[in-house]
Amino acid sequence: MRRGITATALAATLALAATACGSEGDSGSDKSSGGELSGTVTWWDTSTVGSEDKVFKQLAEGFEKKHPKVDVTYVNVPFGDAQNKFKNAAQSGSGAPDVIRSEVAWTPEFADLGYLAPLDGTPALKNEKDFLAQAAASTKYDGKTYAVPQVIDSMGIFYNKKIFKDAGVEVPTTVDELKTVSKKIKDKTGKTGLYLRGDDAYWFLSFLYGEGGNLVDATNKTVTVDNPAGVKAMTVVKDLVDSGAAKTDATDGWENMQSAFKDGDVAMIINGPWAVADTYGGAQFKDKANLGIAPVPAGSVAQGAPQGGHNLAVYAGSKNLDASYAFTEYMTSAESQAKVAEGLSLLPTRTSVYSQPGVADNEIVGFFKPVVDKAVERPWIPETGSLFAPLVTEYTKVLTGQSTPDKGAQDTGDAYRKLLKGWK
Amino acid sequence: MAVHTSQSVASAAGDDLARGRGRGTGKAPGGLRVSTRLRRGVSTHWYAWAMVAPVVAVIGVIIGYPLVRGIYLSLTNANERNVERSIGVNHLPATYEFVGLDNYADALTGDQFLGTLGWTLVWTVSCVSVTFALGLGLANILNRKIAGRSFYRMLLILPWAVPGFVSVFAWRFLYNEDRGFLNKLLAGGGIDAVPWLNDPTMAKFSVIAVNIWLGVPFMMVALLGGLQSIPGEMYEAAEMDGANAWQRFRNITLPGLRSVSTTVILLSTIWTFNMFPVIFLLTRGGPGEATQILVTQAYKFSFEISPRDYAQSSTWGVLILVLLMLFAAVYRRVLRKQGDTW
Radius of gyration of chain B (CA): 27
The segments of chain B whose pLDDT lies below 70 read 1-32, 89, 339-342
A194 pLDDT more than 70 = yes
Mean per-residue pLDDT, A289-317: 92
Q: What b-and-e string marks burial along A157-190, b requiring 16 or more CB atoms within 10 Å of the CB? A: bbbbbbbbeebebebbbebeebbebbbbbbeebe
From chain A, the residues in CB contact with B85 under 8 A are 91, 113-115
Do the Cβ atoms of B308 and A115 come within 8 Å?
no
Q: What is the mean pLDDT of chain A?
A: 87
A74 shares its domain with A144: yes
Mean per-residue pLDDT, A190-194: 91
The Cα–Cα gap between B309 and B262 comes to: 38
Q: What is the DSSP letter of A290?
A: G
Mean per-residue pLDDT, A111-128: 90
| Residue A51 near residue A278, CB atoms below 8 Å | yes
Please count the residue pairs, one from chain A and one from chain B, whose beta carbons lie less than 8 angstroms apart: 115
Domain annotation covers residue A379: no
The Cα–Cα gap between B44 and B93 comes to: 48
Domains identified in chain B and CATH numbers: 2-18+27-67 (no CATH), 103-337 (1.10.3720.10)
The Cα–Cα gap between B324 and B267 comes to: 11
Backbone conformation region of residue A118, classed left if phi is above 0, alpha if psi is from -120 to 50, else beta: beta
Domain annotation covers residue A185: yes
The β-bridge partners of A149 are A311
From chain A, the residues in CB contact with B287 under 8 A are 198-199, 250-251, 396-397, 399-400, 402
Q: Please tell me if residue B171 touches chain A, with a CB cutoff of 8 Å.
A: no
A189 shares its domain with A266: yes
Q: Please tell me if residue B39 touches chain A, with a CB cutoff of 8 Å.
A: no
The β-bridge partners of A45 are A76
Mean per-residue pLDDT, A216-243: 93
Domain annotation covers residue A3: no
User: CATH number of the domain that A413 lies in?
Assistant: 3.40.190.10
**Taking the model in full, what pTM does it have?**
0.82
Closest Cβ opposite residue B169 in set A10, A265, A403: A10
The Cα–Cα gap between A182 and A1 comes to: 28
pLDDT of residue B36: 81
Q: For residue range A32-84, list pLDDT tens digits in order.
A: 445 688 889 999 999 988 888 889 999 998 999 989 999 999 999 999 889 98
What SS3 class is residue A158? strand
Name the A residues in 37-76 with CB < 8 Å from any B CB: none
Name the A residues in 299-328 with CB < 8 Å from any B CB: 315-318, 321
From chain B, the residues in CB contact with A394 under 8 A are 288
A407 shares its domain with A277: yes
pLDDT of residue A398: 93
DSSP A341-383: HHHH-PEESBGGGGGSTTTTT-HHHHHHHHHHHTPBPPP--GG
pLDDT of residue B163: 87
A7 pLDDT more than 70 = no
The Cα–Cα gap between B51 and A308 comes to: 61
A225 shares its domain with A271: yes
A257 or B338: which leads in pLDDT: A257
At A106, the pLDDT band (50, 70, 90 cuts) reads very high
pLDDT of residue A334: 92
A184 pLDDT more than 70 = yes
Q: For residue range B229-254, list pLDDT tens digits in order.
A: 999 899 999 999 998 989 999 999 99
A237 shares its domain with A346: no
Domain annotation covers residue A83: yes
A227 shares its domain with A337: no
pLDDT of residue B342: 52
A216 shares its domain with A260: yes
A58 shares its domain with A93: yes
Q: For residue range B51-93, list pLDDT tens digits in order.
A: 999 999 999 999 999 999 999 999 999 988 888 887 876 778 8
A246 shares its domain with A219: yes
Domain annotation covers residue A424: no
A182 shares its domain with A85: no
pLDDT of residue B3: 39
Domain annotation covers residue A319: yes
pLDDT of residue B21: 41
Number of domains in chain A: 2
Do the Cβ atoms of A13 and B286 come within 8 Å?
no
Domain annotation covers residue A219: yes
Do the Cβ atoms of B286 and A260 come within 8 Å?
no
Q: What percent of chain A has pLDDT over 90?
A: 60
pLDDT of residue A32: 42
Looking at the complex, report in whole angstroms how far the Cα of residue A9 sits from the nearest Cα belonging to chain B.
6
A230 shares its domain with A355: no
Name the A residues in 86-105 with CB < 8 Å from any B CB: 87-88, 90-91, 93
Domain annotation covers residue A1: no
CA atoms within 13 A on the CB side of A227: 14
Do the Cβ atoms of B286 and A403 come within 8 Å?
no
A20 shares its domain with A69: yes
Domain that holds residue A15: 9-153+308-373
ipTM of this complex prediction, to 2 decimal places: 0.81
From chain B, the residues in CB contact with A316 under 8 A are 87-90
> Nearest chain A Cα to B165, which residue?
A10
Q: What b-and-e string marks burial along B97-123, b requiring 16 or more CB atoms within 10 Å of the CB? A: eeeeeebbeebeeeeebeebbebbeeb
A373 pLDDT more than 80 = yes
pLDDT of residue B20: 40
| Residue A185 near residue A169, CB atoms below 8 Å | yes
| Sequence letter at residue A281 | G
Residue B245 burial by Cβ neighbours in a 10 Å radius (0-12, 13-18, 19+): exposed
